[in-house]
Structure 1
Amino acid sequence: MSSHHIVRDDQEPALIIANGAACQSELLGQLLEWSPLVVVLDSAIERVMELDIKVDILLGDFDRNFNPELYKTKQFPIEIIHTPDQDKTDLEKAFDYLISRNITAVNVVWATGKRADHTITNITNIIRYRDTLKIVILDDHSKIFLLPKKFEKWYPANTPISLIPIGHVTGIQSTNLFYPLQGDSLTLGLRTGSSNYVAQDGIVSIEHNEGDLLLMECVD
């Protein structure tokens, strides 16, 4: 795999490569091709370099005797950002960094799998940044993002779609889902909209009144 980027007027989302389970090279290559800025978190740089990927930013707290200076030559030019704050995860600090640069959208890979606590934290942190950063988390089986109050997108029939509330979500209305929602409420831990799917080729619409609702486009 090679470097990036082919970009269109810097309109494409940045890319963060975290340190969870790796995704297939095809997915990573597609994201790299269109990313104007690639950020890798902490010691994941070792895994990234094994794939012959060129990155722009190496960011992290660099604990556990990790020496980022070793990569200045191997990844030249690279910007190294030390973020020692232990009250935030490296992924949160990467989000903060993008916001400081007025970047408004980011794709994230290698943020799921491995440790369950990291996976849950990374997914639910989408909510924390709802007003400042459009975050999409991707792996080989899922694409996860926060829904606006009104959402429409064309899908082929039988596409698996899960609606996962973070907390309590009210007034959910849907069209073109096999299990329709008609003013329903969903609550994490009690009732979710997992394992629904698209009824037929066409537009799926989802609206909700209050709360934070994640959409997960999933494949087996």
Structure 2
Amino acid sequence: MSSHHIVREKQEPALYIHRLGDFDEEYLGQLLEWSPTLLVHASEYEKVLSLGLKVDVVFNPGLDDEIQESTKVVNTIHDDIGGVLNYLVNEKYPEVHIIDQNSDMKVLDSFFDLINIVVFTPMAKSYPVKSGFSVWKPQGTVFSIPLTAYFETSNLLQNEQGEFIVVKDGFIDFTFSTAYLFLTEKL
């Protein structure tokens, strides 16, 4: 049997690097393990190339930027993540992982019905979930959940810092009445 995997195009989440900063290279390697389509903001292009990575799409490069021949150039009206998400939705990507220095999920909420989004920062990953979401997590996993809406959950205990800690290995269930609940999980 062959030990390599065949990945169909757009089966894996695309990876968009908006701001790499001090993101852990080992964790970056894990996100790249299945050879996703790699998209980068022009300001991160040289840094990503210096890591030996092949960039598939670069967004909003300057006129003087030297771009590899095999890299597609896309210019968007606004120099923000929204333009990138519009591109991914139009290209029929079902999911994207975004690396940025912060995870302001409210800015992205108009896209949640169009594409699955997970935002990675150097310290955490954030993602929206719908009511009824259930996930298995080991004891001690730490979540931050903004208290903007009432929600019910199982297997979580809130500490003095307002964080939610998984009580024991097992499933966590979330029930709420809003469209989405934003979970932030420490890496």
- Superposition TM-score, scaled by structure 2 size: 0.87
Report the CA distance between 1:21 and its aligned residue.
Answer: 2.0
Mapped partners of 2:127, 2:58: distance in 1? 24
Report the CA distance between 1:204 and its aligned residue.
Answer: 0.8
Secondary structure of the 2:53 match is: coil
Which structure 1 segments of 5+ residues have no match? 1-5, 113-118, 181-192
Report the CA distance between 1:211 and its aligned residue.
Answer: 4.5
Mapped partners of 1:25, 1:51: distance in 2? 9
Which residue, out of 201, 212, 218, partners 2:169? 201
> How much identity, in percent, do the aligned residues show?
25
Report the CA distance between 1:7 and its aligned residue.
Answer: 5.5
Which structure 2 segments of 5+ residues have no match? none
Mapped partners of 1:175, 1:194: distance in 2? 16
Kindly indicate whether the alpha-carbon contact (under 8 Å) linking 1:14 and 1:105 is maintained by their aligned counterparts in 2: yes
Query: Could you say if the C-alpha distance between residues 33 and 151 of structure 1 is closer, same or farther in structure 2, counting changes exceeding 3 Å?
Result: same
Mapped partners of 2:169, 2:19: distance in 1? 36
Q: CA RMSD in A?
A: 2.2
> 1:169 aligned to 2:149?
yes
- Superposition TM-score, scaled by structure 1 size: 0.75
Kindly indicate whether the alpha-carbon contact (under 8 Å) linking 1:13 and 1:35 is maintained by their aligned counterparts in 2: no
Secondary structure of the 1:26 match is: helix
Query: Could you say if the C-alpha distance between residues 133 and 7 of structure 1 is closer, same or farther in structure 2, counting changes exceeding 3 Å?
Result: farther
Which residue, out of 93, 101, 107, partners 1:125? 107
- Output aligned runs, 1:115-194, within 5 Å: 119=102, 122-164=104-146, 168-170=148-150, 172-179=151-158, 194=162
Aligned to 1:31: 31
Secondary structure of the 1:164 match is: coil
Aligned to 2:96: 106
